[in-house]
């Protein structure tokens, strides 16, 4: 929980310059450790064709530096505007960069000094353990441990409801109907939390609480399917009939739910990671430092969900015994 984010670059000002000019740019870092007289510090602009080294670097604070570049007039490119990645290295923070941080525009008449250099940088990880720094996400990357387990728990509980319904249909024991309907209830509870937390997160990262994303709409439809399950249960008065009809519905609801949240979003483009292909948790999606935290969070919330389910089932069993007595 207290692990800091890795170092990153927040912004660069100004963001563009004409070729041949000498420019001084301010760089705002995040969780960086810039130090005066650090011989390992290297601040370069690089794209596929060119590599530019700073002629002078001034340290403002541990997270602010100013770098001066003389942009040569004879850059190897024919484009009107070229984007450069800003790459920073120092011993403590390792290598980090901002993609397309800086643009150089063509101005054919300009003349300037040539400051090309041939430093070759390797990607070096920062010292100590960090969560990955991602633009837009920043610290909210930690929401992965809270928002995503909600859905895992919901799917797990719906699976219990599905199995319970099948067992009820095969042997007709009332407890299975009780377990299935309680599991669906607690599952909807976790789904609601998943949607609420997702909306808060989306409002910050995607700019609106609800965007037309296939995964969001799929999850909303899946929730509606289960809400309809409770409407169906409420509309039938005869107990055996209610249990039988809702068990059949629940079996189909689970299949539809899985299609809505797993299959359809995977067929189209989505803002969620891992869409439009195989979303398995690979190294790109889930950092090795985050992975153990994430899996324990999922396990914890699933255990919490099962406990809530057992409490609900026990309450309803007691309620039944009580009402039979009276």
Partner 1 sequence: MKNLLLTLLLMCVLFSPLFATGTENLWTTGKIHVVLGVLLTILAGILVFLFVLERKISKLEKTN
The footprint of partner 1 (CB under 8 A) covers 1-2, 5, 10, 30-31, 63, 138-140, 142-143, 146-147, 150, 189, 192-193, 196-197, 200-201, 204, 304, 308, 311-312, 315, 318-319, 322, 326
| Cα–Cα dist 174/8, whole Å | 58
Question: Residue 10 or residue 166: which is nearer to partner 1 going by CB?
Answer: 10
* Sequence-distant (≥ 6) Cβ neighbours of residue 190 within 8 angstroms: 150, 151, 153, 154, 157, 301, 305
Shortest spacing between CB 266 and partner 1, in angstroms: 25
CA distance 6 to 53: 24
| H/E segment holding residue 79 | none
Q: Is the CB of 54 or the CB of 160 nearer to partner 1?
A: 160
ω into 188 cis (within 30 of 0): no
SS3 43: strand
Neighbour tally for 94: CB within 10 Å:
17
Shortest Cβ distance from residue 138 to partner 1 (Å)? 5
Bridge pairing between strands 51-53 and 8-13: unpaired
Rounded to a whole number of angstroms, the minimum distance from the CB of residue 81 to partner 1 is 27
Task: Of 70, 66, 54, give the one whose Cα is nearest residue 19.
Answer: 70
Q: How far apart are CA 66 and CA 71, in angstroms?
A: 16
Q: How far is the CB of 237 from partner 1 (least distance, A)?
A: 21
Give the residue with the Cβ less far from partner 1, 276 or 300. Answer: 300
Of 104, 54, 107, 109, which is closest to residue 83 (Cα–Cα)?
Answer: 104
Q: CB 223 → partner 1: shortest distance, Å?
A: 15
Residue (169 or 304) nearer to partner 1, CB = 304
- The contacts of residue 60 (CB under 8 Å, 6+ apart) are 26, 66
Looking at the Cβ atoms of 210 and 249, the one nearer to partner 1 is 210
Residue for token pair 């309620």: 319
Nearest to 248 by CA among 162, 156, 155, 159: 162
- In whole angstroms, how close is the CB of 207 to partner 1 at the nearest point? 13
**Min dist. Cβ of residue 272 to partner 1 (A):** 16
Q: Is 272 helix (H, G, I), strand (E, B) or coil?
A: coil
Which residue's CB is nearer to partner 1, number 30 or number 102? 30
Distance separating alpha carbons of residues 15 and 274, to the nearest angstrom: 31
In the complex, least distance from residue 216 CB atom to partner 1, rounded to whole angstroms:
16
Q: Which is nearer to partner 1, 9 or 17 (by Cβ)?
A: 9
Backbone phi, psi, residue 58, to 5°: -115, 135
Q: How far is the CB of 149 from partner 1 (least distance, A)?
A: 9
Query: Cis peptide before 232, with omega less than 30 degrees from 0?
Result: no
Measured from the CB atom, the residue of 22 and 63 that comes closer to partner 1 is: 63
**Residue with Cβ nearer partner 1 (54 or 290):** 290
């Amino acid at each position: 929980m207290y692990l800091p984010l890795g170092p990153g670059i927040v912004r660069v000002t100004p963001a563009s310059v004409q070729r041949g000019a000498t420019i001084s740019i301010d760089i705002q870092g995040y969780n960086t450790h810039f130090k005066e007289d650090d011989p390992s510090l290297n601040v370069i602009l690089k794209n596929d064709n060119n590599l530019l080294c700073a002629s002078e670097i001034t340290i403002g604070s541990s997270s602010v530096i100013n770098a001066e570049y003389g942009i040569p007039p004879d850059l190897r490119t024919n484009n009107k505007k070229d984007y450069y990645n800003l790459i920073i290295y120092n011993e403590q923070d390792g290598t980090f960069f901002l993609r397309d941080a800086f643009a150089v525009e063509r101005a054919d008449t300009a003349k300037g000094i040539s400051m090309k250099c041939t430093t070759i940088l390797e990607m070096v990880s920062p010292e100590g353990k960090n969560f990955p720094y991602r633009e837009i996400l920043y610290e909210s990357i930690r929401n992965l441990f809270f928002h995503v387990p909600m859905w895992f728990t919901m799917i797990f509980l719906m699976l219990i409801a599905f199995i319970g319904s099948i067992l009820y249909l095969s042997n007709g024991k009332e407890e299975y109907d009780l377990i299935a309907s309680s599991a669906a209830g607690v599952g909807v509870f976790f789904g609601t939390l998943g949607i609420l937390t997702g909306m808060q997160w989306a409002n910050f990262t995607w700019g609106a609480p609800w965007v037309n994303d296939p995964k969001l709409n799929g999850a909303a439809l899946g929730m509606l399917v289960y809400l309809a399950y409770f409407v169906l249960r409420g509309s039938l008065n005869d107990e055996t009939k209610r249990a039988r009809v809702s068990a059949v519905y629940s079996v189909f609801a689970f299949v539809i739910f899985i299609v809505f949240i797993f299959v359809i979003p995977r067929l189209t483009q989505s803002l969620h990671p891992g869409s439009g292909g195989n979303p398995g948790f690979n190294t790109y999606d889930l950092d090795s430092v985050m992975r153990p935290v994430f899996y324990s969070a999922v396990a914890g919330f699933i255990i919490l969900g099962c406990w809530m389910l057992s409490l609900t089932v026990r309450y309803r069993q007691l309620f039944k015994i009580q009402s039979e007595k009276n």
